[in-house]
Amino acid sequence: MLKIMRYLKPYSAYLLLALFLLFIQAMSELALPDYMSRIVNTGLQQGGIEHSVPSALRQTTLDHLALFMTDAEKDLVSSSYAVVKEGDPNYEATLKTYPILKSEPIVLLKDPNEVKSEALSKAMSRPLLIVSGIEKAKSEAVDGMMDLNGTKMSVALDPYRLIALMGADKRQEMAQGMDQMFTALGDSMVLQGAVAAIKAEYEAMGVSTESLQNRYIIQTGLLMLAIALLAALSTIAVVFLSAKIGAGMARDLRQDTFSKIERFSLYEFEKFSTASLITRTTNDITQIQTVMVMMIRMVLFAPIMGVGGIIRALDKSVSMSWIIALAVIVLLGLITVLFAIAVPKFKKIQKLIDRLNLVSRENLSGLMVIRAFIAQDFEEGRFDTVNRELTKTTLFISRMFVIMMPLMMIIMNGIMLLIIWVGAHQIAESSLQVGDMMAFMQYAMHIIFSFLMLSMMFIMLPRAAVSAGRISEVLNTEPTIKDPDDPVPFPKNREGAVVEFRNVSFRFPGAEENMLKNITFTALPGKTTAIIGSTGSGKSTLINLIPRFFDATEGQVLVDGVDVKQVTQKELRSKIGYVPQKGLLFSGTIESNLKYADANAGQEEMETATAIAQASEFIEEKPEKYQEHIAQAGANVSGGQKQRLAIARALIKKAPIYLFDDSFSALDYKTDMALRQQLKERTASSTVIIVGQRIATIMNADQILVLDEGRIVGLGKHKELIANCKTYQEIAYSQLTKEELA
């Protein structure tokens, strides 16, 4: 998989941008539970009052608070607040906000930003709670008696005056006792209590606390909406970028894989089956593309969400962190088990897809033979066996996913119930706020979903890794036949080309003995060299050495005196017009197939080539003539028509060398004679080498090579061979009479 990652390099900028946007998306989504917590804690429970430092106080309330402050705290508070007097520049504005100013003096915070001051908050929180407690006791008095922390007192008495008479030491002792109680509550609960006291003070001053609350909730809600919109835009951008990166990487990978396959020699095609190469170029690359898109969207996103969720959850409640640890341990165990089971199955799936493609391809290619031998049931059985095995394995993987999702949901719901149960007890003990518990729950879900995303990737990655390995195997396979480092050019200004074999032997890889043995002959321009022999004697193998479809194991194959291994394959093959044993046509039109040899060929050239190849007659009978559609592999034309079109395609090239690998086998005798007669005129200056099975096709050649078990057992003209070569005689007399051979 790592070797495939180099294909991401051209998309580095997109990848970095996607990573940046993922970070924004993660931070946005992680911020939402915190704002939801603020709406619950501050907006609903605290009436929209965020801080424990009041913006304004009645003068009498400030005097009461001062009773429970140290001298340092009094100095800090007195320097931070100022009494509003009639005639002050801000008097009218303050009066509108705080109507109580008409009847009694108030103090205002000099700097509005000081509401966030930790020093002021610490100085005022405890006194605010104490004063709030006294006021609550007065309001809850029974029979004219109020209860001040266990001490009964008449409501007719002023408790603040009595506390003032206690003396500073007694008041501090009382305050320290209250401190112990506040410490047990925790900072958040102290803050909430202080804010409740501030809210009561604001109400006493004539401030509309309902408007204050609504304004805070609306502002926070709009901010959440903006953050959610930012997260949505980031998500859309990441999806676009990941799709662009994945598709671009797959395109480059597919192009390089196809280009590599194009350079494979016949040796490599024996190593990889055609069906396997098709699967690797399509299905395997699609797997990599899909996983790459998911990796960018999940693998990079999940750790950010997971780590960020843990940090923010711990900020809300450290005491419940063990719940997250428990969830992570359970999830990791589940993922490990699934991963161990999935890897072997994904490897098996890709091999089964190869096998299914192979069976399908063989069936489609040999459909007529299958029908002729009434072997449909047998072939259906072959296909069904592979198909059932693939289905069985795929269903096994699918069932893993089916099992995994309910297990994940059980874990998620179990964690939610556990958080609610533990959190409810902590709320009852006043050590946790409701909003914080809700936020903790959402962060826990984010963490679990992060692991869920990673688990999905852990399931998909093995299959992608298998596919990447298969693609790497193709890309890392070096073609056996390569261009030389310092190529030698062919001599220029020559009409034809001399083809020479010098003591050439050839052995297939892994074979115990040579297929061709000590082959030596020369094919001259303007002459026709024919090769004949029994089936398996090496005729096609010999002719394939000239364009370097194979390389000679020993000896040399020379064209114009230059070893074919010393020139580039492109330059070598540009000199050759090749007609394979199987006249292969490509999907398109007759014209597009003919122009495969020369894209610039004109209509006149095509008509001349088809006339020589005896293809004009059936082309003219077609409704669309040269624009007539040709199906894949030429399935809508006969074998003889395919051969004639393949011959015409080679003739359009006007090459110095023509190789005909048993290219006349599907032609009738009359067409064969007419074609060879016109072919001789067209290729008068070219070197023509024909592999034939029929004596009638090659008997007029300038020289004939007779092969038997990879050796030349006869070399000469027809009359010489019929007189002296036993192998040639056997082939000839098996096809024609003595009179016809004379």
Class of the CATH domain delimited by 584-654: alpha beta
Question: Which helix or strand (DSSP H or E) is residue 520 part of?
Answer: strand 516-523
| Class of residue 728 by CB neighbours under 10 A (exposed 0-12, middle 13-18, buried 19+) | buried
The separation between CA 457 and the C-alpha centre of its own chain, rounded to angstroms, equals 11
Closest by Cα among 645, 639, 576 to 612: 645
Give the pair of three-digit tokens for residue 129. 């709670």
From the CB of residue 44, how many other CB atoms can be counted at a distance below 10 Å? 15
CA contacts within 13 A on the Cβ side of 138? 12
Nearest to 43 by CA among 211, 168, 185: 211
Instruction: Tell me the CATH class for 4-12+245-475.
Output: mainly alpha
Contacts of 348 (CB under 8 A, 6+ apart): 393
Is 402 exposed, middle or buried, given 0-12, 13-18 or 19+ CB atoms closer than 10 A? exposed
Long-range contacts of range 320-325, CB-CB < 8 Å, 24 or more positions apart?
320/419, 320/422, 320/423, 320/426, 320/440, 323/415, 323/418, 323/419, 323/422, 323/444, 324/444, 324/447
Contact 234, 25 (CB under 8 A): yes
User: Does residue 553 contact residue 514 with C-beta atoms inside 8 Å?
Assistant: yes
Name the helix (H) or strand (E) containing 244. helix 209-262
Confidence at residue 230, expressed as pLDDT on a 0 to 100 scale? 93
The predicted structure's pLDDT at residue 168: 67
Query: Which residues share a beta bridge with 589?
Result: 629
180, burial (CB in 10 Å: exposed 0-12, middle 13-18, buried 19+):
exposed
Q: How far apart are CA 659 and CA 647, in angstroms?
A: 10
Q: How many CB atoms lie within 10 A of CB 568?
A: 14
CATH number for the segment(s) 501-575+655-742: 3.40.50.300
pLDDT at 177: 58
Residue of 657, 441, 343, 355 whose CA lies nearest to 528 = 657
Q: What does the buried/exposed string (b/e) look like for 578-592 if buried means 16 or more CB atoms within 10 Å of the residue's CB?
A: bbbebbebeeebbbb
User: Distance of alpha carbon 638 from its chain centroid, rounded?
Assistant: 45
Under 8 Å between Cβ of 612 and 675: yes
The pTM of this model reads 0.69
Report the C-alpha gap between 647 and 596 in whole angstroms.
12
The whole-number pLDDT of residue 494 equals 65
Question: Does this chain's domain 4-12+245-475 share its CATH topology with 501-575+655-742?
Answer: no
Spell out the domain ranges in the chain: 4-12+245-475, 38-217, 501-575+655-742, 584-654
Q: Answer for the pair 556, 519: CB distance below 8 angstroms, yes or no.
A: no
Mean pLDDT, each 10-residue run in order, the chain (742 residues): 76 89 89 86 80 87 84 87 83 86 87 83 82 76 67 69 69 61 58 79 84 87 93 92 89 86 76 77 84 81 83 80 81 76 74 80 74 79 86 83 78 84 79 79 82 72 76 81 84 77 87 86 89 85 88 89 88 86 81 83 84 83 84 77 85 86 75 77 82 82 88 88 85 78 66
